[in-house]
Every structure is written in structure tokens, then in C-alpha cells.
């Protein structure tokens, strides 16, 4: 099965041995995204906004956007912040579509670079896109 690596110069390089996203047929699998820079000085709102914006930048590099996302997984270090994340998440997706993707959300003990949240996504690129 042929796969295509998706990357963009608009975002920093990944912090580890992985690619930002990979396309297999019409499915795009985005690696977990975290906020870049000094996360110890960024609150959950700022990090969530940055992550969702970066996800959209990756998708726009192949001429689609967050309306094409069918599934997300959110990793958080503190589920007490879920209401803040939910508000930002819902508003962000409703900017592009009247639908929300399927989603899982789990609390984890630690994330890279002191991030408070990480989001990965799966998108579907319609053949006519």
C-alpha cells in the first residue's frame, strides 16, 4: 500500500523520529501535536488553540481543513481542564463545519516538552478534493 508523507515548512520539525502526517489512500493520519516553545509559560487554552491551528495548517497543505477530520484523540495531563478544552475544541470545529468528529480523551501522567495537552487526528480526503 502506497503512503505519502505530509509535512509543511509552516511548522517546526517534529521533536522525534516521526512525520507530522501520513496519507494512505484517502485517509490522513496526523501525529500527536503539542504546542511548541516554552509550555511551562502557556496555559491550557493557549496550547489547545495552537495545536488545533497547527492541525489545520497540516491539512491545508494538502488542500483540506479540519472539516475533513473524522476522529481525534486528546491526551491531557489534567482532566479538570476538560471544560476549557471542550469550549475551544467545539468553537474551532464549528468554524469549519456543523459537525464534530468522533473523539477519545484520556488523562496521562506526562507529555513531551511539558505540554498540558496533545491532540492526534484522522482525516478523510474525499476523492474530488
128 is catalytic: no
How many CB atoms are located within 10 Å of the residue 96 CB? 14
Name the DSSP class of 41. G
The burial of 19, by beta-carbon neighbours within 10 Å (0-12 exposed, 13-18 middle, 19 or more buried), is given as middle
Closest CA to 105 of 21, 27, 32, 28: 32
Among residues 62, 84, 105, 122, which one is catalytic? 105
**CA pair distance 4, 77, nearest whole angstrom:** 32
Residue 7 burial (C-beta neighbours within 10 Å; 0-12, 13-18, 19+) = middle
Q: What positions carry a catalytic annotation?
A: 105
Amino acid at each position: 500500500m502506497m503512503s505519502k508523507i505530509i509535512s509543511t515548512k509552516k511548522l517546526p520539525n517534529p521533536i522525534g523520529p516521526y512525520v507530522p502526517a501520513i496519507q494512505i489512500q484517502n485517509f490522513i493520519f496526523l501525529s500527536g501535536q503539542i504546542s511548541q516553545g516554552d509550555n511551562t509559560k502557556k496555559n491550557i487554552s493557549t496550547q489547545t488553540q495552537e495545536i488545533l491551528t497547527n492541525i489545520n495548517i497540516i491539512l491545508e497543505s494538502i488542500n483540506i481543513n479540519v472539516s475533513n477530520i473524522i476522529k481525534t484523540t486528546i491526551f491531557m495531563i489534567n482532566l479538570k481542564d476538560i471544560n476549557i478544552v471542550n469550549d475551544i475544541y467545539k468553537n474551532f470545529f464549528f468554524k469549519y463545519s456543523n459537525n464534530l468528529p468522533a473523539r477519545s480523551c484520556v488523562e496521562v501522567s506526562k507529555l513531551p516538552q511539558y505540554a498540558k495537552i496533545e491532540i492526534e487526528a484522522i482525516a478523510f480526503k474525499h476523492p474530488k478534493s
